[in-house]
Amino acid sequence: MTICPNCAWRNPAGSRFCENCGADLEALNRSEPKPASGWPEQRPQPAPLPANTWDEDPRAPDWQMAPLPPEEPPVQKRRIWIWLLVVALLGCLAICVLSFGWLEYTDSGRDFQTRVAEEELNRSGD
């Protein structure tokens, strides 16, 4: 039998929490200083319950706490701005690839490249 140091309720041996007040018995027993004298400390004992209130006794096997309602899963925020950024970058990449391909495989692209090469040769020759 374990006596709660918070409310003096008698709990079954090995209980972690008090059946009456819900106090953590292990933490309270660890932090409770031992009496200096050799005499045990007197604590008030709870009054016995009348026989007609058996249903209200928290020590009764039928007595239980109500279950907690189920928790809703957290709502994931959509990160639309990330997808917009990815689409914009892919669009820029596609435009660059297409423009270089157009310059490479069309006559205007070859003329442009030829003109640039000729200008470089003229500069280096002067």
pLDDT digits over 46-105, tens only?
Answer: 666 555 544 566 666 666 667 788 888 888 777 888 889 999 999 999 999 998 887 777
CB atoms within 10 A of CB 9: 21
Neighbouring-strand partners of residue 3:
10
Count the alpha carbons within 13 Å of 14 in the hemisphere toward its beta carbon.
Answer: 0
Average per-residue pLDDT for the chain: 77
Neighbouring-strand partners of residue 10:
3
Mean pLDDT (whole number) for 109-118: 76
Structure tokens at 22: 């819900």
First and final C-alpha spacing in the chain: 107
Model's pTM, two decimal places? 0.29
Residues 11, 5: Cα–Cα separation, whole Å: 11
Q: What pLDDT is stored for residue 35 in this prediction?
A: 54
